[in-house]
Amino acid sequence: MVIEKHGLKPKVKSFMSNDNNQDSEITITAMNLLKNYPLCDRCLGRQFAKLGIGYSNADRGKSIKMVLLMDIHEKIRNETIEKEKVDDILINMGPISYNFYRSLFGKEPTYKNCYLCGDILDKFINDASEKILNKMKQDNIKKFLIGVKVNQNIISKEENLKSTFKISYGESIKNELKREIGKRIQQLNQESKADFYSPEAIYEVSFPYLDLREQIVSLLVYGKYKKIKRGISIIGPRSKNSILEDVIKSFNAEEVVVHVPDRDESEFRTLGKGSSIIFEIKRSKKETIDISMIEGHSSIINVNKIERKRGQLNSLFNKNYPKIYRVLILCEDKIEDESIEKLNNTNNISIQQKINRRDIKGVVREIKCYKITNNIIECLISLDQKLYIKEFINGNKTSPNISSILEKSCDVIDADLLSFD
Ligand SMILES: [Zn+2]
């Protein structure tokens, strides 16, 4: 019986050789582990998880224990080892060795809990899977992802074990739990599917004290919107019969956040091809849209894509295209024709704005204005998407601006977003 590791020896030879060093690396390492610690099938098997494909760690652990048991039996029969030397190994193997133990020592073995998991892994995998599945059914979730948080004490124990016994083919308890719970859920319910790339929900379980956190991934609905009436706001406030209220109802969601590339001014219309809009539907219980719920708003909202997506939304809007506004501008006193001429000759000027503590730099490409009355002008203004039109007119934290070019205090009466190109 070799308890210590062999010296260097060509691996194939020692595996095939028929001398005293016939034990493989697997049996030597497993024997050393069990000499020191009681381990359940899963926790022993996990130390060799990368060997053999298509088996569970429980299969691996059980197989290794059976081989070790036969090996020990052979050595006892050949009298190459004394039974006292294997007492602790047999106890640490657990119930699989008990018949042999009784016949060898003529007494009852004392049971010891698994050093790593305390013998709760199988039950934990079952309980966690059932708990998650219940939650999935409740919330109508089919595609899921499992996250596992393992108690630090257990992680340290396992890491120490790995370094002490130079284990190089093992996997972590966290990995095993993630995989096994995912597998079990799919066994229990054929409709459930583990999905790493676009899960509908992420379930994080803590081990060993089973605590479950569910995070339902937001549903993103991409669309275009036109606003043909002034005095309404697309993004709120929430009121009865508002678009938001109907989208929330339609998706059976808890909350809907609306993202639009521009500030949603209620006195502005959005015409032309319309503007992009993304509804971020939080904790939605449904994935299919009940279009009749928002049909009443179809003249202003046109939904074209539904997608579950994780991550930041910021990058979804292209901030570089120019937009064209029609703006009606009122100034405090008479606007001279030369001033309008000056505006109309303003091409490609660099603008700096400081809005919501952000420094924004962009270009106003072109301005074309004509006079309506002495102190009202109507202008078409083409500017970078990131610039704010209202501030460009009234001059608030913007330089230069229409008021500064005209040398008068001016402001917006109303405006229409006409086009993005
Ligand atoms: Zn265990």
Gap from CA of 214 to ligand 1 centroid (Å): 26
Q: What is the pLDDT of residues 146-179, one digit of tens each?
A: 999 999 999 999 999 999 999 999 999 999 999 9
In a domain? residue 111: no
Average pLDDT across the chain, whole number: 86
Of 105, 135, 154, the residue at which a domain comes to its end is 105
Residues 226 and 208 in one domain: no
Gap from CA of 22 to ligand 1 centroid (Å): 28
Q: Of 375, 289, 276, give the one whose Cα is nearest residue 323.
A: 276
Residues 266 and 355 in one domain: no
Q: Of 229, 221, 260, give the one whose Cα is nearest residue 420.
A: 260
β-strands 255-259, 268-282: how paired?
Answer: antiparallel
Residues 182 and 242 in one domain: no
Residues 288 and 364 in one domain: no
Residues 152 and 96 in one domain: no
Gap from CA of 260 to ligand 1 centroid (Å): 52
Q: What pLDDT sits at residue 197? A: 84
CATH code for the domain of 204: 3.30.2130.30
Of 191, 216, 241, the residue at which a domain comes to its end is 216
In a domain? residue 362: yes
Residues 182 and 230 in one domain: no
Report the C-alpha gap between 374 and 356 in whole angstroms: 34
Gap from CA of 38 to ligand 1 centroid (Å): 8
- Quick check: 16 pLDDT over 50? no
Q: Kindly indicate the confidence band of residue 231, based on its pLDDT and cuts at 50, 70 and 90.
A: confident
- Of the listed ranges 11-15, 175-179, 212-216, 227-231, the least confidently predicted one is 11-15
Angle between helices 98-105 and 57-77 (to 10 degrees): 20
Residues 209 and 223 in one domain: no
Gap from CA of 44 to ligand 1 centroid (Å): 7
In a domain? residue 1: no
Alpha helices in 239-290 (DSSP H): 243-251
Across 179-188, 304-313, 382-391, the highest mean pLDDT is recorded for 179-188
Residues 190 and 210 in one domain: yes
Gap from CA of 97 to ligand 1 centroid (Å): 16
Residues 199 and 173 in one domain: yes
In a domain? residue 5: no
Residues 6 or more apart in contact with residue 109 via CB below 8 angstroms: 90, 91, 97, 98, 101, 102
Gap from CA of 46 to ligand 1 centroid (Å): 9
Tell me the average pLDDT across 78-104. 94
CATH code for the domain of 403: 3.30.70.3190
Q: Kindly indicate the confidence band of residue 309, based on its pLDDT and cuts at 50, 70 and 90.
A: confident
Residues around ligand 1, an ion, CB closer than 5 A: 40, 43, 114, 116-117
Residue 337: give the domain boundaries. 322-419
Gap from CA of 32 to ligand 1 centroid (Å): 16
Residues 240 and 308 in one domain: yes
Gap from CA of 99 to ligand 1 centroid (Å): 21
β-strands 358-373, 376-384: how paired?
Answer: antiparallel
In a domain? residue 116: no
Tell me the average pLDDT across 122-127. 96
Domain count, the chain: 4
Gap from CA of 111 to ligand 1 centroid (Å): 14
Radius of gyration of the chain (CA): 36
In a domain? residue 113: no
Query: 3-class SS at 366?
Result: strand
Gap from CA of 118 to ligand 1 centroid (Å): 6
Q: Kindly indicate the confidence band of residue 319, based on its pLDDT and cuts at 50, 70 and 90.
A: low
Report the C-alpha gap between 360 and 388 in whole angstroms: 9
- Quick check: 303 pLDDT over 60? yes
Q: Kindly indicate the confidence band of residue 110, based on its pLDDT and cuts at 50, 70 and 90.
A: very high
In a domain? residue 110: no
In a domain? residue 6: no
State the DSSP H helix or E strand holding residue 162, giving kind and residue range, or none if neither.
helix 152-164
Gap from CA of 117 to ligand 1 centroid (Å): 4
Which of the two residues, 304 and 227, has the higher pLDDT score? 227
Of 74, 105, 136, the residue at which a domain comes to its end is 105
- Of the listed ranges 7-21, 233-247, 313-327, the least confidently predicted one is 7-21
CATH code for the domain of 286: 3.30.70.2510
Q: What is the phi/psi pair of residue 172, to 5°?
A: -85, 160
Residues 311 and 225 in one domain: yes
Residues 328 and 260 in one domain: no
